Amino acid sequence: MTKQNDADVAFIQALAELLTANDLTEVEVMREYGDNDSLNVRVSRALPQMIQTVTAPAPVAAPAAPAAATPVVAAAADPANDPNALASPMVGTAYLAAEPGAAPFAKIGDQVSEGQTVLIIEAMKTMNHIPAPKSGTVKRILVEDGTPVEFGAPLMIIE
């Protein structure tokens, strides 16, 4: 192995450690070495929560139940299937308040208006205000303050 290849392997190992240390699921980097020499690396992993989310609804549907009850049970088991779920528009870290110690943007039972900020997602050092998609009542908050979220992950239920 050449010296550059050894450095590349060490770099890739460092990226893998970065994934684990920061609870990330994916990181992609491009390194330019010269005019026609570059390295493109994409390192990803599956989180145990994601696997549980995918497999959890299957046992719910397995027991025999009246047809009308099955969708209600499935929606309760997997908030992503709830039509009132606010889905994350990006990967990042969710914050329920503007700063540590401040009052949360919304609590369970609060009435929110369409367009009102209900949480923030930090992505790449940028604080992105996430608005309520419609007016209604916050029924459930599905993330904790300061937790990482994936694209499309349900954040809260607004009915």
Q: How far apart are CA 43 and CA 107, in angstroms?
A: 36
Per-residue model confidence as pLDDT tens digits over 47-71:
544 433 444 444 444 444 444 443 4
Kindly report the backbone phi and psi dihedral angles of residue 112, in degrees, each rounded to the nearest multiple of 5, phi listed first: -120, 155
What letter represents residue 84's amino acid? N
For 17, counting Cβ atoms within 10 Å of its Cβ (0-12 exposed, 13-18 middle, 19+ buried), the class is exposed
* Average pLDDT for 144-150: 92
* Average pLDDT for 83-109: 91
**Token code pair at residue 130:** 């996430």
Q: How far apart are CA 92 and CA 105, in angstroms?
A: 18
Q: What is the CATH number of domain 84-158?
A: 2.40.50.100
pLDDT of residue 55: 41
B/e letters for 29-43, b = 16+ CB within 10 Å, e = fewer, are eeeeeeeeeeeeeeb
pLDDT of residue 129: 94
CATH 2.40.50.100 location in the chain: 84-158
First to last CA, the chain: 59
